[in-house]
Amino acid sequence: MTADPSKPRRRRIGWRGAAITASVTVLILGAFAALIASGHLWPNRIFASSHTTRGIDVSSYQGAIDWTVLSSEDIDFAIIKATEGSGAQDSRFAKNWSDAHETDLLVGAYHFMSFESEGATQAQNVIDTVPDAPGSLPVTVDLEFYGDFFDNPPTRTHVRNILDPLLAALEDHYGTPPIIYATPDAYDRYVRDDYPDNPIWIRSVALPPRLSDERDWTIWQYSHRDRLRGYNGDEQYIDMNVFAGTLDEMRALAAQSAR
């Protein structure tokens, strides 16, 4: 059929054009992913900005911390690693705890829970390490997978046999229900539909969190690749968090620990 010269011709992209378009798309997506991986672009920062009470969590990986400098970085609270399992203590906890309490920050401690020792002995490790300081945030139990447990998660019954006595002993000693920190997978397996008195601290570094049982979160860890002034350790990044309420409401949470 002879083409009508009065009508504009449609351009056909063809396989070469499609291949070029696909390559450009891959490059753009790769650059976007690289920016996220480098910590220069993190979508959650936009969503988290609607929450005005911000904080950090740190461990010995952040090295020596100048708490005067770090506390001036537009943060309101700090949660510091204290213990792990039944016998390990973070090498910088005592100094971090003391120095952080010299600032205006609300300060708390966290325990990394092991799946390999009893809850009672883990609780004693926390009690022996973390002072019962009035006005501190409730102790946090960090519930997440590690090592071979990523591929072979322990059963709910196994975890509950550790977690339940650990939480009970810490509440009895410190006078307030501990915070439970969890990844989404750990939350769904071990926490969902239970522990109504324990504040939930959820990790979600890609999108805003939504708990599977529609429960409200108390603290949201929205980034693990921020950079602030005031520390100089092997880990160049620092975890960022927001509190669901106001600073006064977080102070009220801390006041529950006062005796």
pLDDT at 126: 98
| Count of the separate structural domains present in the chain | 2
Alpha helices (H) along 119-243:
119-129, 156-174, 184-186
What does the alpha-carbon distance between residue 180 and residue 117 come to, in Å, rounded to a whole number? 18
pLDDT at 37 over 50: no
What does the alpha-carbon distance between residue 12 and residue 23 come to, in Å, rounded to a whole number? 18
* pTM to 2 decimal places: 0.85
In a domain, 127, yes or no: yes
What does the alpha-carbon distance between residue 64 and residue 83 come to, in Å, rounded to a whole number? 18
Phi then psi dihedrals of residue 209, to 5 deg:
-75, 150
In a domain, 2, yes or no: no
In a domain, 20, yes or no: yes
Residues 206 and 104 grouped into a single domain = yes
Residues 69 and 152 grouped into a single domain = yes
Q: What is the CATH number of the domain that holds 91?
A: 3.20.20.80
> What residue numbers bound the domain in which 32 lies?
10-41
Residues 55 and 25 grouped into a single domain = no
16-21 mean pLDDT: 57
pLDDT at 16: 60
What does the alpha-carbon distance between residue 59 and residue 198 come to, in Å, rounded to a whole number? 23
Greater confidence, 49 or 36?
49
Residues 65 and 147 grouped into a single domain = yes
Reduced to 3 states, what is the DSSP secondary structure of residue 224? strand
Residues 29 and 47 grouped into a single domain = no
What does the alpha-carbon distance between residue 107 and residue 82 come to, in Å, rounded to a whole number? 12
pLDDT at 257 over 50: yes
